[in-house]
Copies of this chain bind each other. A is one copy, B any other.
Amino acid sequence: MAVPSGPVTASTDAERAMFDFVDAYDRAYETAATTHELSVAQACVLGRLTDPRGMRELADELGCDASNITQIIARLESRDLVQRHTNPNDRRSRQIVRTPTGDALYADFEASFAFARAAIANLSTTEQDQLAALLRKALGAADGWPAMGRRDA
């Protein structure tokens, strides 16, 4: 299962299309991660480290407990994909930095995660704009529903 799936009984065609799309996206993401011997969670964290970040920051962005991040970073660190430096400004906190190895692995990962690019490639530029606009409009409608807003914006 690995990847969350939406309701099987979709009332409208648009709902069905949304579910299919999300499902395909999630599966593709997981496949790309697994291919690089990363779990989804690890790929997720690694992807956010384009610049150094604290543990707290990561936990907030991903909406999970800090101790969860501790574990994930520990595993990434043991593979030398990431390093933990004490923040000189606040010695309680660590700055997590992606190593060159980590940079390279993540670049590979992103390159292999062709889903979004492939999806876009089959749309004209006009259609791409339309899709983006429709998705945003649909999303905007949802504001106010529980856990709907991006916690990592």
Chain A residues with a Cβ under 8 A of chain B: 1-32, 35, 40-41, 44-45, 47-48, 50, 62-64, 68, 110, 113-123, 127-132, 134-142, 145-152
A17 touches B148 (CB 8 A): no
From B15, B24, B50, give the contact of A148 (CB < 8 A).
B24
A21 touches B135 (CB 8 A): yes
If A127-B137, A151-B27 touch, whether A47 touches B119 (CB-CB below 8 Å) is no
Q: Which residues of B lie under 8 Å from residue A119 when comparing CB positions?
A: 18, 138-139, 141-142
Question: A32 to B149, alpha carbons, bound, how many Å?
Answer: 14
From B24, B68, B139, give the contact of A20 (CB < 8 A).
B139
A114 touches B151 (CB 8 A): no
Residue with the greatest number of chain B CB neighbours at <10 A, chosen from A29, A119, A150? A119
**Chain B: which residue is nearest A13 at the CB level?**
B132
If A128-B12, A145-B115 touch, whether A27 touches B137 (CB-CB below 8 Å) is no
Nearest-neighbour CB distance to chain B for A24, whole angstroms, equals 6
A120 touches B27 (CB 8 A): no
Residue with the greatest number of chain B CB neighbours at <10 A, chosen from A8, A45, A62, A138? A138
